[in-house]
A and B are shown apart, each in its own frame.
With several copies, the nearest count.
Chain A
Amino acid sequence: MPEEIVLLVDDEAVPLRVARDGEEWRVSAGRHEVRARLAPLEPGVFTLTTGGRTYLLHAVEAGERRALHVGGRTLEYRVERRSGGRRRDAAGSADLSAPMPGLVTGVLVREGDPVRPGQALVIVEAMKMEHVIRAARAGIVRRLLVRPGQQVEGGAAVAEIAPPP
């Protein structure tokens, strides 16, 4: 009986159907199907055999986040529970979050300011680069959530934009 598993890859939902067939697994992703065997070697290391080749598979997890490497490809993902409660709204305020951990070096608007699409709002500096966070659409700055000089985490919201009146 196939199981439905939804991976979140870069906040995009990737639904998989996974079924066991004796020693073999069948995994469907969209129109593609992979038939493979998995064998554990040691903690975090496995072999995956498919299509006449065996691949070394390395996998780790840290909290909700998972990462694995197989056949030269690296995949980072989270797992969506079937309850569906955790899925992010990809179209939402993602544009207004810090793209990476870093230092806020500039806040270019004030609360209540009207903004146009693409307008620079906040500057975050990390790894010797400056990143400008811009408005995704027109609106009013409802709340500013960071100050210059503040350290922010990757993904942290920096501002909320209300629709234009």
Chain B
Amino acid sequence: MPRIQTVLAANRGEIAVRIIRACRELGLRAAAVYSDADADALHPRLADVRVPLGPPEPRESYLNIGRLIDAARRAEADAVHPGYGFLAESAEFAAAVRDAGMVWVGPPPEVIAALGDKATARRVAREAGIPEVPGYAEPGASDEALRAAARRLGLPVLIKAAAGGGGLGMRLVEREEALAEALRAARREAAAAFGSGGLLLERYLPEVRHIEVQVLADQHGSVLALGERECSVQRRRQKIVEEAPSPFASPALRARLAHAARAVAAAAGYVSAGTAEFLVDADERFYFLEMNTRLQVEHPVTEATAGVDLVKAQLRIAEGEPLRLEPVEPRGHAIECRVYAEDPARDFRPSPGVIRLLREPAGPGVRVDSGLREGWQVPVAYDPLLSKVIVWDRTREDAIDRMAEALRRYVILGCRTNLDFLQAIVGHEAFRRGETTTRFVERHFPGWRPGEPLLALAAAGILEALREAAPPAGAAGPAGPSGARPASDPWETIGPWRMGARGA
């Protein structure tokens, strides 16, 4: 296979930044695409080539296969990395890339089609002897069939997008009256997010853990398991805190999960990075959920513990290189917190805005995968994930302390984020004890609101008192009336201090 020269990152935000960095380290030309809403985003700035895609709406840009292929051609790309979300698990896109004579950085379209549809994936697992969650998964199932299946399985059930991942289109239904509206909403979300409204049902297992195993497979039949991740802390069925290794898994369970993940991947003829997801109950019984045929949002915790750069590994596998990794022994403990533009006190409502001030944490063992820059308007059109804080340390306790400090140091002003909520989670005794089931948030943070921010209120009071004492519109400093400052100026602030600063 010829060496890749130029890789198009067919995605946006932090994962596009992540892919671009890996390409540049490998000496590959990195191409970015951006919708009109992302013209000022970070990811095109870091690329070697940047190609506009079209209007903000995903169907006109990041979900538009024709435009992406066209952009790849204009960038003279010979490979496409899809990231996660959008078309990352679209067999159609993978095939279109291949048909355009480019390398798809991921599993072959046939494997995506087989595993990407959850119904088919379950059959593959079943045939490989891996237990699965009780549920109903028939391709193209109608609302009537789903309603009947829900009655058979017994409520509560979980509605899931057959084509999707990441919690989109997912609905927990506890009462029969809510079933019809939930099916309708889930179909709409699934169609909007994945281009297919296909749904499936699962019996809802309340007090379980969500544990997944990272696999890496080359084109020559080698499959490695790189350790498990625990992703149980979720809100609205979407992961917010992930860690590796699982604080719950015993060495025996860990080995059984790794074996099951390798078995599913091998049975499916898997290639590239992928993830086998399992539910695990308190008795260490586990159920295969699905195989994600892409890089996961939470891949960095495995990178930190296994010491493997998964994106570089994907690119090398795509070039045909055999896996040169001896079986990997994970080391230490890694945690990831997802930073969202959302308001945890208002049902995690998305909260876009302009990033007016940004200070990202740094230091030993701290990694921030971020798509942020000062002055950037967080678009309304996309998922509100802003960045991810990943920490590593020798023990879980040390990693928790490191995460707490990193979150305290993370300053994002201009849009509401979940940074306060993440601090509350990481600071909770139940989290420290490792009691991270999928019910963690609803159990420990029902109707959570941030505590009285006494220090912040005091700061606000003092700043406002100073402002009243010397209103900025009055005697302006040499910079001119503060009203004349451009709205995107991150330092547009606090009248009397505008010019009185020591640094000025």
Query: Which residues of chain A have a CB within 8 Å of any CB of chain B?
Result: 3, 5, 7, 10, 14, 16, 18, 20, 25, 27, 29-30, 32, 34, 36, 38, 40-48, 50, 52-62, 66-77, 79, 99-102, 105, 125-131, 154
Contact A55 B504 (CB under 8 A): no
User: Which stretch (B131-139, B149-157, B449-457) binds chain A?
Assistant: B449-457
Which residue of chain B is the closest to A2 with respect to CB atoms? B465
Q: Using Cβ atoms and an 8 Å threshold, which residues of chain A touch B450?
A: 73
B356 interfacial by beta-carbon distance below 8 Å: yes
Q: B108 contacts the other chain (Cβ, under 8 Å)?
A: no
Q: Which chain B residue has the least Cβ–Cβ distance from A19?
A: B465
B185 CB contacts on chain A under 8 angstroms: 130
**Stretch with Cβ within 8 A of A (4 or more), from B206-214, B242-250, B483-491:** B483-491
CA distance A101 to B468 in the complex (A): 32
CB-nearest residue of chain B to A44? B493
Q: Is B43 an interface residue (CB 8 A)?
A: no
- B380 and A100 contact, CB distance less than 8 A: yes
Residues of A within 8 A of B168 (CB): 128
9 contacts between A and B (CB under 8 A): A27-B457, A38-B462, A41-B503, A43-B498, A44-B357, A56-B46, A100-B350, A126-B380, A126-B381
Nearest B residue (CB) for A32: B454
**Total number of residue pairs linking A and B with CB closer than 8 Å:** 217
B501 at the interface (CB under 8 A from A): yes
Q: Are A48 and B458 in contact (CB under 8 A)?
A: yes
Please state if A60 and B493 are interface contacts (CB–CB under 8 Å).
yes
- Answer whether residue B463 sits at the interface, using C-beta atoms and an 8 A cutoff: yes
B406-423 interface mask toward A, CB cutoff 8 Å, 1 = contact, 0 = none? 011101111011011001
Evaluate contact between B349 and A99: CB separation under 8 angstroms: yes
Q: How far is the CB of B182 from chain A (nearest CB, A)?
A: 11
Find the A residue at minimum CB distance from B346: A99
SS of B interface (majority):
mixed
* B455, A52: Cβ atoms closer than 8 Å: no
B494 and A59: CB pair below 8 A? yes
The smallest beta-carbon distance between A28 and chain B, in angstroms, is 9
- What does the 1/0 interface line of B440-468 toward A look like (CB < 8 Å)? 00000000001011111111111111101
Give the docked Cα–Cα distance between A60 and B414 (Å).
8
Given contacts A41-B40, A60-B490, A74-B417, contact A128 B193 (CB under 8 A): yes
Interface of A is mostly: strand
B359 at the interface (CB under 8 A from A): yes
Of all chain B residues, the one with the shortest Cβ separation from A51 is: B455
Q: What chain A residues lie within 8 Å of B431 (beta carbons)?
A: none
Choice from A32, A54, A56 contacting B49 with Cβ under 8 Å = A54
Among A5, A60, A125, max chain B CB count under 10 A is at A60
CB distance from A140 to the nearest CB of B (A): 23
- Residues of B within 8 Å of A3, CB to CB, are 465, 468
Q: Is the CB of A44 within 8 A of B346?
A: no
Q: Which of B336-350 contact A (CB under 8 A)?
A: 341, 345-346, 349-350
- A76 in contact with B461 (CB, 8 Å): no
Give A16 to B465 CA distance when docked, in angstroms: 10
| Closest A residue by C-beta to B486 | A43
Instruction: With A34-B458, A99-B349 as known contacts, state yes or no: A75 contacts B383, CB within 8 Å.
Output: no
CB distance from A141 to the nearest CB of B (A): 20
1/0 per residue, CB under 8 A from A, across B181-199: the answer is 0000100110011000000
Of A47, A56, A66, A128, which one neighbours B189 at CB under 8 angstroms? A128
User: Once bound together, how far apart are the Cα atoms of A62 and B493, in whole Å?
Assistant: 8
For residue B54, CB closer than 8 A to chain A, the reply is no
Contact of B413 among A20, A29, A46, A67 (CB under 8 A): A67
The 5 closest A-B pairs by CB, nearest first: A72-B408, A42-B503, A127-B350, A75-B456, A34-B458
B352 at the interface (CB under 8 A from A): yes
A56, closest chain B residue (CB)? B45
**Which residues of chain B come closer than 8 Å to A154, judged between CB atoms?**
351-352
Q: Does B435 contact A (CB under 8 A)?
A: no
Give chain A nearest CB distance to B116 CB in angstroms.
19
Q: Which residues of B contact A128 (CB under 8 A)?
A: 168, 189, 192-193, 382-383
Chain A residues lying within 8 Å of B382, measured Cβ to Cβ, are 127-128
Alpha-carbon separation in the docked complex, A147 to B321 (Å): 55
Q: Report the separation of the CA atoms of residues A125 and B57 in the bound assembly, to the nearest whole angstrom.
A: 11
Q: Residue B455 contacts which of A70, A100, A131 (CB distance < 8 angstroms)?
A: A70
Interface status of B94 (Cβ within 8 A of chain A): no
Kindly provide the distance from the CB of A71 to the nearest chain B CB, expressed in whole angstroms.
Answer: 5
User: A128: nearest residue on chain B (CB-CB)?
Assistant: B383
Q: Cβ of A42 and Cβ of B504 under 8 Å apart? A: yes
How many angstroms between the C-alpha atoms of A110 and B345 in the bound complex? Answer: 31
Does B384 count as interface, using CB distance less than 8 angstroms?
yes
Given that A52-B76, A100-B380, A128-B383 are known contacts, is A69 also in contact with B411, CB under 8 Å in the complex?
yes
Residue from the list B384, B456, B500 in contact with A40, Cβ < 8 A = B500
Q: B461 contacts A54, CB within 8 Å?
A: no
Chain B residue contacts of A76, Cβ below 8 A: 416
Interface string of B392-412 (1 = CB under 8 A from A): 000000000000000111011
B324 at the interface (CB under 8 A from A): no
Contact in complex: B414, A68 (CB < 8 Å): no
- The distance in angstroms between the C-alpha atoms of A66 and B224, with both chains bound, is 50
